[in-house]
């Protein structure tokens, strides 16, 4: 070893010890005749000191050091005169006897500090330098810890981690599959898995009972902000279980992770909310329940006063923004513009200010007398000082969704979304099916293998559209602070029920055989009842770290064009390689 101790562990109790440290020069500065060097490694920073009266060679060596030089330094642990309470090693320094330069460094293109002066692109290009910074070191340490605790928890419950293949088969609707040409089988391709869904269900057929895997998944889709072409899931499946068993098992996992990684106690039990309630109250299937500002339906209270916009609406809803009754005209105008942006899509915004004295001021004063406004305010459960924001429209779910987006925005503006506060939630009772007006058919809200709730089976076998619409699925999402972290379902294991599902979805026997034949065939050999879920591991880590973006929680992420700018990938390959694979480029004209 090049060191006796790391740069984070020496304390005043080690006074008098002769030690050797190794690491990177964070900074070196002269003060009087002395040289002070901050030496950094993954474990911390320790101050080294070369005294004015030290041998000339040593003073010279210390003077020659540049930022990010790698050195080995030997000396005695001494107590500092001027202590630094900000770092754990701040009570001591090392009085150097020897410096060995292990490697020099050219000047890095940006500062390696908590806050770097480098722009995002530059830091991405030199990711290996950005990764030296404290925030990224802590992010990856957190990620390791979350993975390790996840494995320990699941192992303790008898889950087996089983690796599923990465070179699989492109599925018929695999437009978003990455494919891999096979040299040994010319003209044929593997596909990279979007998830191990099929394989984990096969493992249940194979009797593995409790499976998990922390596994890479791949999706060749246009990348929205903060999506990655390769991402990691905690993928799980269990046999002989009902929904309650799955929820309890993974509630326990999240509780353990919060406790062991963050020392945070989350609510016990984690609250559950039906999909219907979530939409009605929060306008979202992944509500942030760290703050209230719930949606209230105002349809009855607001109609019948001759204001056609509202009178003709199918649904009217509002939220009460606390303490915002003093908003200026400029502020309410800005909010109106905000909801009219295409990302929200509202036609306009109605507001009612509930003044501290109980009086009202609204954008609809022309149509509504104070007692009418009072009625609406009562329906909105508004309090003095509140600003009621109201949206309306034909489609209830659409209006609720807009109100949900507005609610999150107001939560952000009011600082109600504390990153270190954690409000987990299960969303349950999803509709099994979604009717699409355009194609006049049902689609599976989760996927075609999701089972209906047993008590709704009577409707599932009904031919009436309104019956089918009210069938709930044994499906569930784990939501944290307004982000969906995971989701899953109890699967259909019964051939007759699966047949009915395909029938409802308008998938004929041939199409079913073509698309799903392989798994349907496996299910003929005694599939057990089973269900599971998957968590988005990158996002779990980011939220545990109190961050929105997953990028800092992935060691080597790709940018929004799917490029790794550090290694400059993807890139052209040799003609010989193309030739061996027996494929050719066929680039379209722009």
State the minimum distance, in angstroms, from the CB of residue 333 to its own copies.
39
- The site string for its own copies over 145-164 (x = CB under 8 A, - otherwise) reads --xx--x---x----xxxxx
What Å distances lie between residue 96 and 53, 73, 99, CA to CA?
11, 7, 7
Tell me which residues in 13-42 interact with its own copies (CB under 8 A): 22-24, 40-42
369 φ/ψ angles, rounded to the nearest 5 degrees: -75, 160
State the minimum distance, in angstroms, from the CB of residue 530 to its own copies.
10
State the minimum distance, in angstroms, from the CB of residue 63 to its own copies.
18
Tell me which residues in 52-111 interact with its own copies (CB under 8 A): 68-70, 72, 102-106, 108
- What gap in Å lies between CA 274 and CA 281, rounded to an integer? 10
Q: Which helix (H) or strand (E) holds 217?
A: strand 210-218
State the minimum distance, in angstroms, from the CB of residue 346 to its own copies.
32
Part in contact with its own copies (CB under 8 A); list of ranges 174-182, 389-397, 423-431, 467-475: 174-182
State the minimum distance, in angstroms, from the CB of residue 489 to its own copies.
17
The answer to whether residues 230 and 218 touch, using CB atoms and an 8 Å cutoff, is: yes
Tell me which residues in 234-253 interact with its own copies (CB under 8 A): 240-242, 245
Tell me which residues in 187-206 interact with its own copies (CB under 8 A): 187-192, 198-199, 202-203, 205-206
Interaction of residue 183 with its own copies, rule CB under 8 A: yes
Interaction of residue 140 with its own copies, rule CB under 8 A: yes
Q: Which of 30, 138, 144, 347 lies at the binding interface for its own copies (CB under 8 A)?
A: 144
Q: Which of 90, 229, 482, 531 lies at the binding interface for its own copies (CB under 8 A)?
A: 229
402 φ/ψ angles, rounded to the nearest 5 degrees: -65, -45
Part in contact with its own copies (CB under 8 A); list of ranges 144-152, 280-288, 289-297, 308-316: 144-152
Structure tokens at 320: 């009460």
User: How many residues are recorded in the chain?
Assistant: 590
Part in contact with its own copies (CB under 8 A); list of ranges 336-344, 353-361, 374-382, 554-562: 554-562
Residues contacting residue 77 through CB under 8 Å, at least 6 positions apart: 10, 14, 15, 16, 17, 18, 19, 92, 93, 94
Q: Which helix (H) or strand (E) holds 251?
A: helix 243-257
Part in contact with its own copies (CB under 8 A); list of ranges 74-82, 306-314, 360-368, 565-573: 565-573
Q: Which of 355, 577 has the CB closer to its own copies?
A: 577
In this structure, is the dihedral angle defined by the CA atoms of residues 114, 117, 123 and 129, taken in order, positive or negative? negative
Q: Which of 199, 544 has the CB closer to its own copies?
A: 199
Interaction of residue 1 with its own copies, rule CB under 8 A: yes
Q: Which of 15, 494, 509, 514 lies at the binding interface for its own copies (CB under 8 A)?
A: 494
The answer to whether residues 191 and 175 touch, using CB atoms and an 8 Å cutoff, is: no
Q: What is the DSSP letter of 502?
A: H
Interaction of residue 181 with its own copies, rule CB under 8 A: yes
- What gap in Å lies between CA 177 and CA 156, rounded to an integer? 35
Q: Which of 5, 123, 132, 407 lies at the binding interface for its own copies (CB under 8 A)?
A: 132
Interaction of residue 134 with its own copies, rule CB under 8 A: no
**With 0-12 CB in 10 A as exposed, 13-18 as middle and 19+ as buried, what is 558?**
buried
Part in contact with its own copies (CB under 8 A); list of ranges 433-441, 465-473, 505-513, 564-572: 564-572
Interaction of residue 585 with its own copies, rule CB under 8 A: yes
Q: How many CA atoms lie within 13 A of 375 on its CB side?
A: 13
Q: Which of 194, 363 has the CB closer to its own copies?
A: 194
Interaction of residue 528 with its own copies, rule CB under 8 A: yes
State the minimum distance, in angstroms, from the CB of residue 328 to its own copies.
45
Q: Which of 78, 223, 262, 445 lies at the binding interface for its own copies (CB under 8 A)?
A: 223
Tell me which residues in 250-269 interact with its own copies (CB under 8 A): none
- What gap in Å lies between CA 275 and CA 458, rounded to an integer? 20
State the minimum distance, in angstroms, from the CB of residue 47 to its own copies.
18
Number of residues that bind its own copies (CB under 8 A): 126
Interaction of residue 586 with its own copies, rule CB under 8 A: yes
Interaction of residue 522 with its own copies, rule CB under 8 A: yes
Residues contacting residue 503 through CB under 8 Å, at least 6 positions apart: none
Q: What is the DSSP letter of 196?
A: S
Interaction of residue 224 with its own copies, rule CB under 8 A: no
- What gap in Å lies between CA 248 and CA 263, rounded to an integer? 20
DSSP letters of 424-491? EEEEE--BSEEEETTTTEEEESS-TTBPBPGGGHHHHT---HHHHHTPBBSEEEEEETTEEEEEEEEB
Tell me which residues in 288-347 interact with its own copies (CB under 8 A): none
Q: Which of 312, 582 has the CB closer to its own copies?
A: 582
CB neighbourhood size of 270 (10 A): 20
Q: Which of 114, 121, 222, 455 lies at the binding interface for its own copies (CB under 8 A)?
A: 222
Interaction of residue 470 with its own copies, rule CB under 8 A: no
Interaction of residue 51 with its own copies, rule CB under 8 A: no
Q: Which of 33, 186, 267, 348 lies at the binding interface for its own copies (CB under 8 A)?
A: 186
End-to-end CA distance of the chain: 57
Residues contacting residue 495 through CB under 8 Å, at least 6 positions apart: 520, 523, 524
CB neighbourhood size of 302 (10 A): 28
């Amino acid at each position: 070893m090049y060191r006796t101790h790391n740069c984070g562990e020496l304390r005043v109790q080690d006074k008098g010890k002769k030690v050797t440290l190794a690491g990177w020069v964070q900074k070196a500065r002269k003060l009087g005749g002395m040289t002070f060097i901050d030496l950094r490694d993954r474990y911390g920073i320790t101050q080294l000191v070369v005294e004015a009266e030290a041998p000339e060679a040593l003073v010279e060596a210390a003077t020659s050091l540049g930022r990010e030089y790698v050195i080995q330094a030997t000396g005695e642990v001494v107590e500092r005169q001027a202590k630094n309470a900000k770092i754990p090693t701040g009570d001591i320094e090392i009085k150097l006897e020897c410096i060995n330069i292990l490697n020099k460094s050219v000047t890095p293109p940006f500062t390696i500090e908590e806050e770097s002066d480098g722009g995002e692109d530059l830091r991405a290009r030199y990711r290996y330098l950005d990764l030296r910074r404290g925030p990224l070191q802590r992010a990856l340490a957190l990620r390791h810890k979350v993975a390790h605790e996840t494995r320990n928890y699941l192992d303790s419950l008898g889950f087996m981690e089983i690796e599923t293949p990465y070179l699989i088969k492109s599925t018929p609707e695999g437009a978003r599959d990455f494919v891999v040409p096979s040299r040994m089988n010319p003209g044929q391709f593997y596909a990279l898995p979007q998830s191990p869904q099929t394989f984990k269900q096969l493992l249940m057929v194979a009797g593995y009972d409790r499976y998990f895997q922390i596994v890479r998944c791949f999706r060749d889709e246009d990348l929205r902000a903060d999506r990655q072409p390769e991402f990691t899931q905690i993928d799980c499946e269990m046999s002989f279980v009902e929904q309650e068993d799955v929820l309890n098992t993974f509630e326990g996992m999240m509780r353990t992770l919060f406790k062991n990684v963050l020392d945070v106690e989350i609510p016990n039990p984690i609250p559950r909310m039906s999909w219907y309630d979530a939409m009605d109250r929060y306008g979202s299937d992944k509500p942030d329940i760290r703050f209230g500002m719930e949606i209230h339906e105002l349809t009855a209270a607001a109609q019948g006063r001759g204001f056609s916009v509202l009178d003709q609406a199918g649904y009217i809803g509002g939220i009460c923004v606390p303490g915002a009754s003093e908003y200026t005209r400029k502020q309410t105008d800005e909010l109106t513009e905000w909801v009219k942006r295409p990302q929200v899509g509202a036609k306009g915004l109605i507001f009612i200010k509930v003044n501290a004295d109980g009086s009202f001021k609204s954008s609809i004063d022309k149509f509504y007398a104070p007692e009418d406004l009072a009625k609406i305010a009562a329906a909105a459960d508004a309090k003095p000082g509140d600003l009621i924001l109201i949206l309306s429209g034909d489609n209830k779910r659409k209006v609720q969704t807009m109100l949900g987006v507005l609610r999150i925005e107001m939560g952000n503006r009011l600082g109600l979304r504390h990153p270190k506060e954690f409000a987990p939630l299960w969303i349950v009772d999803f509709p099994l099916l979604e009717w699409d007006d355009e194609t006049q058919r049902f689609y599976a809200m989760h996927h075609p293998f999701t089972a209906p709730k047993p008590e709704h089976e009577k409707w599932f076998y009904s031919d009436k559209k309104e019956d089918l619409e009210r069938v709930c699925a044994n499906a569930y999402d784990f939501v944290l602070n307004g982000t969906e972290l995971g989701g899953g379902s109890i699967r259909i294991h019964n051939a007759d029920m699966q047949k009915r599902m395909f029938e409802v979805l308008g998938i004929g026997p041939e199409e079913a055989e073509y698309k799903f034949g392989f798994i349907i065939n496996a299910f003929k050999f005694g599939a057990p009842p089973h269900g599971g879920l998957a968590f988005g591991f990158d996002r779990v880590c980011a939220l545990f770290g109190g961050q929105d973006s997953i990028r800092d929680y992935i060691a080597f992420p790709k940018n929004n064009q799917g490029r790794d700018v550090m290694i400059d990938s993807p890139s052209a390959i040799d003609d010989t390689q193309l030739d061996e694979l027996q494929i050719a480029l066929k680039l379209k004209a722009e």
